């Protein structure tokens, strides 16, 4: 499948649902060809591709475990074969498991960190080797690092690693004209975030920022669109997209 001459190409991991899907849809609407990497939910990935295609965009879905370097290599191979190269990589894949430090199941800790830390490292390593000049690498972090909510220690720690990887890689790519940034959403109305929360909790979280609403996936996608495209002078930053919560 060939894109139009000069069309930029994006890989979005975790692109089948939630914030990742909104990012994939926004980049497609910006004119990029999008490769949606997903873990298990083929139906949702296909729906995302079909939705983009229905609006005249370019997209394919590729199943890939972000913590598996061979699978990520194949993901980049597929993007290059289908569209000719890779210009933007958005690593939105991640899992969130909550419990207190005292009670946290260490097996679950290892599973979460394998995706959130190793997965981020693997995707960024391959992106550093294969993204074209003028490109952008963007990792999804979290505002909860600053908020320090109880039960979020393990998740926040994994996202602190995401920030570190992003900011160091930005300096390591000196001279390549490739930007690297992290985007740290606040509470955002996704299925993952809303699961298990009662209406009172959701309302309380919504009012913690001056705008007094939860974020929408489209809000985060807007920030990603900016640093994936025109914002070439924003580099080596963690951008907090949370309505002014912190």
Q: What is the 3-state secondary structure (H, E, C) of the chain?
A: CCCCCCCCEEEEECCCCHHHHHHHHHHHHCCCEEEEEECCCHHHHHHHHHHHHHCCCCEEEEECCCCCHHHHHHHHHHHHHHHCCCCEEEECCCCCCCCCCCCCCHHHHHHHHHHHHHHHHHHHHHHHHHCCCCCEEEEECCCHHHHCCCCCHHHHHHHHHHHHHHHHHHHHCCCCCCEEEEEEECCECCHHHHCCCCHHHHHHHHCCCCCCCCECHHHHHHHHHHHHCCCCCCCCCEEEECCCCC
What's the pLDDT score for residue 26? Answer: 98
What's the pLDDT score for residue 196? Answer: 81
**CA distance linking residue 105 with residue 93, whole number of Å:** 21
Model confidence, pTM: 0.95
**CA distance linking residue 133 with residue 126, whole number of Å:** 14
What's the pLDDT score for residue 3? Answer: 56
CB 20 within 8 A of CB 93: yes
Fold of 9-185+216-239: Rossmann fold (3.40.50)
Residue 215, strand partner residues: 188
What's the pLDDT score for residue 182? Answer: 98
Sequence ranges of the domains in the chain: 9-185+216-239
What's the pLDDT score for residue 55? Answer: 97
Q: State the chain's mean pLDDT as an integer.
A: 95
**CA distance linking residue 203 with residue 154, whole number of Å:** 24
Convert the pLDDT of each residue in 103-129 to its tens digit.
Answer: 999 999 999 999 999 999 999 999 999
What's the pLDDT score for residue 192? Answer: 75
What's the pLDDT score for residue 170? Answer: 98
Give the tokens for residue 208: 């913690």
CB 223 within 8 A of CB 183: yes
Convert the pLDDT of each residue in 46-105 to its tens digit.
Answer: 999 999 999 999 999 999 999 999 999 999 999 999 999 999 999 999 999 999 999 999
Confirm whether 38 is a catalytic residue: no
Catalytic residue among 38, 83, 152, 155: 155
Q: How deeply is 55 buried, as exposed, middle or buried, from its count of CB atoms within 10 A (0-12, 13-18, 19+)?
A: exposed
Q: Which residue has the higher pLDDT, 172 or 194?
A: 172
Identify the band that residue 6 occupies on the pLDDT scale cut at 50, 70 and 90: confident
Convert the pLDDT of each residue in 134-160 to its tens digit.
Answer: 999 999 999 999 999 999 999 999 999
- Compute how many other C-beta atoms are within 10 angstroms of the C-beta atom of residue 103: 7
**CA distance linking residue 94 with residue 63, whole number of Å:** 15
Identify the band that residue 2 occupies on the pLDDT scale cut at 50, 70 and 90: low
What's the pLDDT score for residue 197? Answer: 86
Average pLDDT score over residue span 164-187: 97
Average pLDDT score over residue span 214-240: 97
- Compute how many other C-beta atoms are within 10 angstroms of the C-beta atom of residue 108: 14
CB 180 within 8 A of CB 236: yes
**CA distance linking residue 118 with residue 158, whole number of Å:** 10
């Amino acid at each position: 499948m060939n894109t139009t001459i000069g069309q930029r190409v994006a890989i979005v991991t975790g692109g089948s649902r939630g914030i990742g899907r909104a990012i994939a849809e926004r980049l497609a609407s910006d004119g990029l060809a999008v490769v949606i990497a997903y873990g298990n939910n083929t139906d949702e990935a296909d729906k995302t591709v079909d939705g983009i295609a229905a609006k005249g965009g370019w997209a394919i879905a590729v199943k890939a475990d972000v913590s598996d370097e061979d699978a990520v290599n194949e993901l980049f191979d597929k993007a290059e074969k289908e569209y000719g190269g890779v210009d933007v990589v958005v690593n939105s894949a991640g899992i969130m498991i909550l419990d207190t430090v005292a009670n946290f199941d260490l097996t679950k800790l290892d599973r979460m960190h394998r995706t959130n830390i190793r997965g981020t490292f693997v995707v960024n390593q391959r992106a550093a080797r294969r993204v074209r000049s003028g490109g952008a690498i963007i990792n999804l972090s979290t505002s909860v690092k600053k908020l320090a909510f109880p039960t979020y220690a393990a998740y926040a720690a994994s996202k602190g690693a995401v920030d570190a990887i992003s900011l160091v890689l930005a300096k390591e790519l000196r001279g390549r004209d490739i930007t690297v940034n992290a985007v740290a959403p606040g509470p955002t109305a996704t299925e993952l975030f809303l699961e298990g929360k009662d209406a009172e909790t959701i309302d309380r979280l919504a009012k913690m920022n001056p705008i007094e609403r939860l974020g929408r996936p489209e809000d985060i996608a807007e920030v990603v669109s900016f640093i994936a495209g025109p914002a070439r002078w924003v580099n080596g930053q963690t951008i907090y997209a949370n309505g002014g919560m912190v």
